[in-house]
Structure 1
């Protein structure tokens, strides 16, 4: 620090703070929000912290300063986090006669409140699904009062708000032999599941929509609220998510089938709820076959991946795609291609 000029010292202090926060974030997946709700909020900022530390490392490297070691060491300690943030390899796409394609998409009530200027969002979503022809479709914030028309699919959905008639929906080209809903308390969010039969296999598919914080992600709006209020609100949300995940895990533990878990987790891959859902028996299909940032939520200041398709390790992950050029919701659709070994 003594050899740094004033600006350099300021930069290194900011660098130290970013490195410290990133280091702290590495323990967050192991800390239940019910115990440390305020600390768990930091998981949302991990993508930004990773990018900041990468930039600081490059900054000091170009100046040939030993200060580059701080961010470098912290980044190396969390090497697996980088794989969740960005995949350098190209998207995998393996053709297999046993392939199953699964699409997950939070459709935001088909733009019922005109968040987007387009008047044809619902029709455009229908056209997109018909063009892609996924074998299984998992939709969140689906409006059952205004359903989409899909030929060749079996369907199951639930309604939680009688005025808006919204919930989650699942469609399958394979026969549905069982279905149900997991009732989350004091919320309009829920999870649904179906058991589908493909050839000689029965597959359990969950479609989750975990608790949303209800925070407006527009930066100008965020500035209007106090940081204390924001942390409290998000902390309360994460506590609710933990309770919802515990209910889901208890239900999943009773299933004898190979399982796929999809949906809008309203949290990142660096969170406690993600780690609990993934467990030891599921893999993140983006990490296996995706590329780039895998951004699934429309937040313009840094990439947020909060929508996931997690598959049983007995599946081969043959492809993954994020449709982040498709502006039909505040989320982007994701599709995974899998086959049974």
Structure 2
């Protein structure tokens, strides 16, 4: 440190702070948000922390300073974390699988007029037609007669008997036993989030399919409200609201996990987790049992949520190990605040 200029000493001080923050973030998926709700918010910043430590490493490397070892060790230790954030393009020869599943949070097909672009329902229908998935799961679903006619089998769970808003599962294969976990009946959740599941008969096999929509953290709305965190009091309020959302997600994830454990069939999970692959929510549901389709066959950052230049992957396909994941694609179209994801898979012999 003595040989460093005052500027380099400042850089290394910042480097050390962000390295420590990344180490803490490595442990957060294993810590229930109920225990430390405020610090759980740090998991949202993991992509930035990874990039920052990479930049620091390159800075010290170019200057041939031994301080590069700090960020290098941190990144080596967290190599598994980085693979959930960025994947080098897959070069295998598997091709498409026998079956396909798409997930899409459609933001009510623009029923709330969040964008002035016209004909959003028709454009979304066209994207789905082009992909032509065997199974389609939708969050923030609003009644769509075209899709309801296109797919012979469906499970649509509206928020209430008089509502046309909810979640949906569409399938080319028969569905048996349609169940809603009804998050909204519990005090700790909001009315807009839920998990539904059904058993899908694919030829001679039966699988259990979940469509999950966990509690929203409302990051975009809160950031806009406080004008990029210029107001300290409002900033504290935002962090508190987000940490409260983490706690609600934990309750919901525990309910989903218990349901998954009771399944007698192989499971596929599809949905909008409203949280990243670095969160306790993701860790608890995946539970080292499921394969993440992006981690297996994805490429690049594959952000699934449109938050300017911030890479945020919060929509997932998690498949049991009896399945072979053959391909994964994020379809970047501007018809919702989410992008659809498409996975093809096969049954292992």
Partner of 2:25: 25
- Alpha-carbon distance, 1:164 to partner: 5.7
Q: TM-score, normalised by structure 1?
A: 0.94
Name the Cα RMSD after superposition: 1.9
Query: Which segment is superposed worse, 185-194 or 214-223?
Result: 214-223
SS of the residue corresponding to residue 104 of structure 2 reads strand
Structure 1, unaligned runs of 5 or more:
none
The reply to whether residue 223 of structure 1 matches residue 229 of structure 2 is yes
Q: 1:191 to 1:93 in 2, by over 3 A?
A: farther
Q: 1:246 to 1:308 in 2, by over 3 A?
A: same
Whole-Å Cα distance in 2 between the matches of residues 113 and 152 of structure 1?
25
- Alpha-carbon distance, 1:280 to partner: 2.7
Structure 2, unaligned runs of 5 or more:
none
- Alpha-carbon distance, 1:119 to partner: 1.3
Q: 1:19 to 1:163 in 2, by over 3 A?
A: farther
Partner of 2:299: 291
Whole-Å Cα distance in 1 between the matches of residues 84 and 144 of structure 2?
37
Partner of 2:209: 205
Tell whether the 8 Å contact from 1:145 to 1:165 is kept in structure 2 after alignment. Answer: no
Q: 1:91 to 1:150 in 2, by over 3 A?
A: farther
Whole-Å Cα distance in 1 between the matches of residues 23 and 168 of structure 2?
39
Whole-Å Cα distance in 2 between the matches of residues 146 and 44 of structure 1?
37
- Alpha-carbon distance, 1:221 to partner: 3.3
Whole-Å Cα distance in 2 between the matches of residues 73 and 187 of structure 1?
41
Whole-Å Cα distance in 1 between the matches of residues 122 and 322 of structure 2?
36
The reply to whether residue 320 of structure 1 matches residue 328 of structure 2 is yes
- Alpha-carbon distance, 1:92 to partner: 5.3
**CA displacement, residues 85-124 of structure 1 (integer Å, 9 cap, x when unaligned):** 110132656246x611000011011112222221111110
**CA displacement, residues 147-186 of structure 1 (integer Å, 9 cap, x when unaligned):** 7444243111111167763211000000112211111124
Whole-Å Cα distance in 2 between the matches of residues 234 and 284 of structure 1?
25
Q: 1:95 to 1:116 in 2, by over 3 A?
A: same
Partner of 2:340: 333
Tell whether the 8 Å contact from 1:317 to 1:336 is kept in structure 2 after alignment. Answer: yes
Matches within 5 A, 1:151-190: 151-160=150-159, 165-184=164-183, 185=186, 186-188=189-191, 189-190=193-194
Whole-Å Cα distance in 2 between the matches of residues 200 and 176 of structure 1?
13
- Alpha-carbon distance, 1:250 to partner: 1.4
- Alpha-carbon distance, 1:281 to partner: 1.9
Tell whether the 8 Å contact from 2:151 to 2:170 is kept in structure 1 after alignment. Answer: no
Whole-Å Cα distance in 1 between the matches of residues 144 and 87 of structure 2?
39
Tell whether the 8 Å contact from 2:305 to 2:337 is kept in structure 1 after alignment. Answer: yes
Whole-Å Cα distance in 2 between the matches of residues 71 and 263 of structure 1?
34
Whole-Å Cα distance in 1 between the matches of residues 214 and 89 of structure 2?
30
Query: Which segment is superposed worse, 163-172 or 285-294?
Result: 163-172
Whole-Å Cα distance in 2 between the matches of residues 112 and 77 of structure 1?
46
Tell whether the 8 Å contact from 1:216 to 1:222 is kept in structure 2 after alignment. Answer: no
Aligned length: 339
**CA displacement, residues 230-252 of structure 1 (integer Å, 9 cap, x when unaligned):** 22111110100010011111111
Q: 1:32 to 1:43 in 2, by over 3 A?
A: same
Whole-Å Cα distance in 1 between the matches of residues 146 and 202 of structure 2?
26
